[in-house]
Amino acid sequence: MEIKNESHNKLVQQITHCFPLYFICIHCNYHLHKQCAEAPLSLPNHPLHPQHSDVGFFLRERPRSFDWKCLDELPTKIDHLTHRLHPLILNRGDSDGLCNLCQKQHSGPFYGCSLCQFKINVECAWPRSIVEDKSRHQHPFSMLWRQGSFICDACDTEGNYISYICLKCCIIVHKKCTSLPRIIKFSRHDHCIFHKYFLQTQYLTRQDCMICFNEVKLDRGNYSCGKPGCNYVVHVNCVLEDDELYKVIEEEKQCEELYEKSMQSSIIRFIEMNEARKATTIQHFSHQHCLVLADKMEEEIDRKCDECMLSISTLFYYCLECPFFLHKTCAELPRIKQHWFRQGNAILLFKGFLECNFCDQRCSGFFYYIGGWEMCLRCAKVADIMKCEGHQHFLFIDFKYREKCNGCGKRCSNGAFRCGKCRFALDFGCLTLPHSTLHKIDEHKLKLTYDDDKEQIYCDICERQRDPSLWYYSCSICDTSAHPECVLRQFPFVNDGVTFPSYYHNHHHDLKFFRKVEGYLECFHCGKLCQEEILKCEESTCDNIIHCECSD
Ligand SMILES: [Zn+2]
Ligand SMILES: [Zn+2]
Ligand SMILES: [Zn+2]
Ligand SMILES: [Zn+2]
Ligand SMILES: [Zn+2]
Ligand SMILES: [Zn+2]
Ligand SMILES: [Zn+2]
Ligand SMILES: [Zn+2]
């Protein structure tokens, strides 16, 4: 029943003829013929299609089709080592099916056993017997057929039937793991990380994967940081899961360069320094006047930082010529940086009014633009692994999490920060709530509070019931408590006077947002009187207001 070496090689050749030389993505099964990969992205014209030659032709992907002529040259029935009981029959395969060898969905012809529902895609039936790529592993790998499963030394997960072994290193790996990148830069870690088949350690400690928070077996393959004192380690499959989160580094010396290039400061110029060499006057890219450092507000007003839209209490820069304030920490945020959310650059921008794609809050502050996503600064400051006051353990980001948030009780549609030790998760919205805030219901600042031991509880603002397991704002002196959305209202992070985009209302002029208005004005939509959170038309012919709630 064994396929002799010679005939195996002949079949490999035949398959190579049907599937000629191609470029393959090392992370998935995507491949392109060499010729196709090198084709130009567009052609100005083509003689075979003159009628549209003025428009040009653009390279697009066409649904994959098999070269059926090749099929005639393949044996119609084979004995295959992975299925010793019955012969396998060639089948044209018009729909997608799971290939039992590579465990992936395939379209196109396959060899199958109808008795056992066993299927092998034609492309997978005769894998190359030797794989060699010195940039990935110093020795060649040889293929080994096995019945049943094995554990891959490179990624510590199970594989079936086909494995590749390196006799010099005594390792057995998946086909895909023969070409794992040796070094990658992962967006959630500042340093480059290296693939190792095992990690030596002097301690008897358990190390958790910094992505999924399950244990990493140190005597198995993983990616780890090479910097002394940095214990960052992750599972191979966790770190390579999303190719937007990492970049392959070909040479070790590129690591340092990469780190230096990825930053650009927001402070254009230091104008004055004090004795402690702290910048006391700066020029910030976002403002035309100089900004001066201060550590206390002169008047007692609730002043917001124009970047993050949170209250300012200590250490901030302000403008002497116009009302513009920045937390010192916000002013120092880089204009271009690497953010853990994506491998590409995050760019600081200001558009007047945007909705954050992470916390869903409308905000008139600054945003980081990260590969098509807009992230407000409150969200951007949250680390991928973090601790917050409302929970005793570390929380880590899980973008696939869809269950309830323990802060607000809503389903997490944008993923959540969850605990690896217990059932607890928080969405971006709750994690970035202000720790304290003012509301006219109480003369003191209301504090964000995380648990309540009372049984029957009501919100002092809307007077409706409150779920004691969810977060709320409270004042312990006056025993006030209220829903976060009642305290903060709809637009806590929008500045007075900001113009709302027209998709928020259907008025024919620009409308400006005001948190409060003097006197009582009638809403031109519902006719009621209102003083809070309104949109105002300042055109002299209109001079109308509309409640924000009535605008959408
Ligand atoms: Zn593997
Ligand atoms: Zn993991
Ligand atoms: Zn700020
Ligand atoms: Zn946000
Ligand atoms: Zn929440
Ligand atoms: Zn309420
Ligand atoms: Zn109204
Ligand atoms: Zn108007």
| 15 confidence band (pLDDT: 50, 70, 90) | low
Neighbours of ion ligand 6 (CB under 5 A): 459, 461-462, 483, 486
Do residues 471 and 509 both lie within one domain?
Answer: no
**Do 234 and 285 belong to one domain?**
no
Decide which of 279, 311, 328 is a domain's last residue.
328
Contact status, residue 241 vs residue 25, Cβ threshold 8 Å: no
Q: Are residues 60 and 82 in the same domain?
A: yes
551 CA to middle of ligand 5, Å? 25
Ligand 7 mean position to 550 CA, how many Å? 5
Q: What's the confidence (pLDDT) of residue 19?
A: 58
Q: How far is the CA of 160 from the centre of ligand 2 (A)?
A: 21
Average pLDDT, the chain: 85
CATH for 458: 3.30.60
| 16/113 same-domain check | yes
Report pLDDT for 12: 65
Tell whether 111 and 158 lie within a shared domain.
no
Task: Say how many Å lie between the CA of residue 549 and the centre of ligand 8.
Answer: 18
CA dihedral (381, 383, 386, 390) positive or negative: positive
Could you tell me the maximum CA-CA distance found in the chain, to the nearest angstrom? 94
Of 328, 345, 376, the residue that ends a domain is 328
Lowest mean per-residue pLDDT among 42-51, 106-115, 333-342: 42-51
Neighbours of ion ligand 3 (CB under 5 A): 305, 307-308, 327, 330
Structure tokens at 212: 């999924």
> What is the span of the domain harbouring residue 476?
436-488
pLDDT of residue 60: 65
> Could you tell me the distance, in angstroms and rounded to a whole number, from the CA of residue 362 to the centre of ligand 8?
23
Determine the distance separating the centroid of ligand 5 and the alpha carbon of 485, expressed in angstroms: 11
Q: Is residue 527 part of a domain?
A: yes
CA-closest candidate to residue 388, choices 422, 419, 420: 419
pLDDT given at position 261: 65
State how many domains the chain has.
6
Tokens of residue 133, six digits: 């790529």
Are 108 and 37 in the same domain?
yes
Same domain, 45 and 32: yes
Q: When comparing pLDDT for 402 and 453, which is higher?
A: 402
77 and 50 inside one domain: yes
Query: Is 233 within a domain?
Result: yes
Distance 216 CA to ligand 6 centre (A): 45
SS3 220: coil
Q: Are 197 and 191 in contact (CB under 8 A)?
A: no
Phi, psi of 143 (to 5 degrees): -75, 145
Residue 12 and residue 118 in one domain = yes
Same domain membership, residue 45 and residue 98: yes
Cα of 517 from ligand 7 centre, angstroms = 14
Q: How far apart are CA 212 and CA 431, in angstroms?
A: 20
What is the CATH number for 224? 3.30.60.20
Distance from the alpha carbon of residue 192 to the mean position of ligand 1, in angstroms: 21
What gap in Å lies between CA 85 and CA 74, rounded to an integer? 21
Which of 225, 260, 295 terminates a domain? The answer is 260
208 and 249 fall within a common domain: yes
Ligand 6 centroid to Cα of residue 67, in Å, is 66
Return the structure tokens found at 228: 């002394």
Highest mean pLDDT among 255-269, 317-331, 449-463: 317-331
**Residue 188 identity (one-letter amino acid):** R
Ligand nearest to the CA of 537: 8
Ligand positioned closest to the Cα atom of 429: 5
| ipTM score | 0.63
Residue 152 forms part of a structural domain:
yes
Tens digits of per-residue pLDDT, 283-322?
999 999 999 999 887 777 778 999 999 999 889 999 999 9
Is 269 in contact with 283 (CB distance < 8 Å)?
Answer: yes
For residue 27, pLDDT beyond 60: no
The Å distance, Cα 97 to ligand 5 centre, comes to 40
Q: Indicate whether 364 belongs to any domain.
A: no
Q: Which ligand gives the minimal distance to the CA of 177?
A: 1
CA of 224 to the centre of ligand 6 (A): 48
User: Looking at the predicted structure, is the pLDDT value of residue 111 above 50?
Assistant: yes
What ranges make up the beta strands (E) of 48-107?
Answer: 57-58, 77-80, 83-91, 97-98, 105-106
Residues having C-beta closer than 5 Å to ion ligand 8? 509, 537, 539, 542
Q: Write out pLDDT tens, residues 351-363.
A: 888 999 999 999 9
Please indicate, yes or no, if residue 254 is contained in any of the structural domains: yes
pLDDT in tens, 137-185: 989 999 988 777 899 999 999 988 889 999 999 999 998 899 999 999 9
Side chain identity, residue 540: S
Please indicate, yes or no, if residue 41 is contained in any of the structural domains. yes
90 and 113 share one domain: yes
Does residue 526 belong to any structural domain of this protein? yes
For residue 368, being part of any structural domain is answered with no
